[in-house]
Amino acid sequence: MRDLNYQLKQLCQNNRDGSYRTQADRERQLTLIANQLHELGYRRMNTQSLKPKHIEALVAHWQREEITTGTIKNRLSTIRWWADKVNRQNVVARSNDHYGIPDRQYVTNISKATVITALDLEKVGDQHVRMSLELQQAFGLRREEAIKFQPDYADRGDHIALKESWTKGGKARVIPVRTEAQRAALNHARLLAGKGSLIPSSRNYRHQLRIYERHTANAGLSKMHGLRHAYAQQRYEELTGWKSPAAGGPTAKALTPEQKAVDQQARLTISLELGHERIQIVSIYLGK
């Protein structure tokens, strides 16, 4: 275990502020932050090493990853907790405005779904990036999950299994394989990656992320987080039989009691498949 990971774990164990859930979430976030700092090139850090440049780099990374405003604010709150415990409060700006973080985006019934076509993919010059995009569309994966994807490990036949080290918050999860398009994408990924991941052996994650960003930009592709919106909306229609509010379907007020029960079960299923702990979050994808 790297020094920073170990020391942050000890910091959490020695400062048990809040509920058990809060403590567990804090430790999970700090582990993720330590891992991301390492991936961003900041090595041999300890808990006293925290500097403004580290926070700026993390925020920039999260914004490139299209992490939600609320999640970024939560992570900054966790960093402030860390800084306070090691008496380095001044390295973190007191206001999130300093980092250019906008106000939270509240739920609207305007769809943010994005779809990529075969023609779009042909414009992407790197085959590993193309494959990551295919998986994002087929399974609603986050960008990091699709880049780190190891098909030989993940493909379990009727579902895929995502490792903790690939996912936001370090939570493993499974997603069902339901369609021919999903199966075709997995078979294609297996042929490309073999026993490895969608990061070629000559690159690391940070390098592959830059390549992903460059090739998608060159292909005129943006807001690829919208692929998760499309997945969620497709899944909702499949599970309920009607479109989500964001896709032009009925709002919650228009549903019968029986339909509301179906709606809630569908939202719970989609929440788990997307890797969200709270069912309310899927309203950002589906509307309400």
In tens, the pLDDT along 167-219 reads 877 889 999 999 999 999 999 999 999 999 999 999 999 899 999 999 999 99
- Determine, yes or no, domain membership for 162: yes
215 part of a folded domain = yes
CB-CB contact of 12 with 25 (8 Å): no
Answer yes or no: do 201 and 243 share one domain: no
In terms of domains, do 181 and 258 share one? Answer: no
Burial track 184-202 (b if 16+ CB lie within 10 A, e otherwise): ebbebbeeebeeebbbbee
> Domains in the chain: how many in total?
3
The answer to whether residues 75 and 41 belong to one domain is yes
Contact 73, 96 (CB under 8 A): yes
Residues 34 and 84 in one domain: yes
3-state DSSP call for residue 174?
strand
pTM of the model: 0.69
Q: Residue 119, class by beta-carbon neighbours within 10 Å (0-12 exposed, 13-18 middle, 19+ buried)?
A: exposed
Same domain, yes or no: 54 and 89: yes
Instruction: Look at residue 44 and give its three-state secondary structure.
Output: coil
Token code pair at residue 109: 């019934």
- Asked if residue 107 is part of any domain, the answer here is no
Question: For the residues 64-88, what does the mean pLDDT come to?
Answer: 92
Pair (208, 255) in one structural domain: no
Q: Could you tell me if 152 and 196 lie in one domain?
A: yes
Q: Which of 83, 99, 115 is the last residue of a domain?
A: 99
* Cα–chain center distance at 79: 19
Give the chain's length: 288
Residue 175 DSSP SS3: strand
- Whether 133 and 215 map to the same domain: the answer is yes
Range of the domain at 148: 124-220
Q: Which of 220, 242, 257 delimits the end of a domain?
A: 220
- Whether residues 173 and 248 fall in one domain: no
Give alpha helix (H) positions in the chain: 3-14, 20-39, 52-64, 69-85, 118-122, 127-139, 143-148, 151-154, 180-193, 205-218, 226-240, 257-274, 283-286
DSSP strand pairing (159-162 vs 173-176): antiparallel
Q: Are 95 and 117 in contact (CB under 8 A)?
A: no
110 part of a folded domain: no
For the segment 225-284, what is each residue's pLDDT rounded down to a tens digit? 999 999 999 999 999 999 999 999 999 999 999 999 999 999 999 999 999 878 888 999
The answer to whether residues 241 and 209 belong to one domain is no
Same domain, 191 and 241: no
pLDDT digits (tens, 9 = 90+) for 117-128: 999 999 999 999
Do residues 9 and 94 both lie within one domain?
Answer: yes
pLDDT category of residue 161 using cuts at 50, 70 and 90: very high
